[in-house]
């Protein structure tokens, strides 16, 4: 399976290198006060990277909310486990039988 994963990664790398070579021509990007001249592939990768960063920033609030929910659920689970352990201990002491019925 690892060989297949590495083969797919290598294929993606080859496609990216091919794309870079085919789009090596210079292009000019005009934004009102600025002008930027760079290879097309660099401009595309810069905007792709910016999109990734914006997407991650947009998902941060959801990630934080889910982490808080996981923490509260873990607290509730520990409290339940403690209550069950206390109840089992109380029952075993009152009947004189161990926790496994022995």
Residue spans per domain, the chain: 25-66
CA 26 to chain centre: 35
For residue 95, the model assigns a pLDDT of 65
pLDDT in tens, 58-74: 999 999 999 999 999 99
SS3 99: coil
pLDDT in tens, 8-43: 999 999 998 888 888 788 999 888 888 989 988 888
Whether 29 and 38 have beta carbons less than 8 Å apart is answered as: yes
Indicate if the pLDDT at residue 54 is higher than 90.
Answer: yes
Q: Residues with Cβ < 8 Å from 56, sequence gap 6 or more?
A: none
Indicate if the pLDDT at residue 99 is higher than 80.
Answer: no
């Amino acid at each position: 399976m690892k060989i297949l994963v590495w083969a797919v990664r290598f294929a993606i790398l080859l496609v990216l290198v091919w794309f870079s070579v085919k789009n090596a021509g210079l292009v000019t990007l005009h934004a009102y006060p600025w002008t930027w001249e760079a290879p097309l592939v660099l401009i595309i990768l810069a905007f792709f990277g910016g999109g990734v960063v914006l997407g991650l920033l947009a998902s941060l609030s959801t990630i934080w909310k889910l982490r808080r929910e996981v923490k509260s659920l873990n607290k509730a689970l520990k409290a339940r486990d403690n209550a069950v352990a206390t109840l089992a201990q109380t029952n075993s002491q009152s009947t004189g039988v161990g926790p496994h019925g022995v």
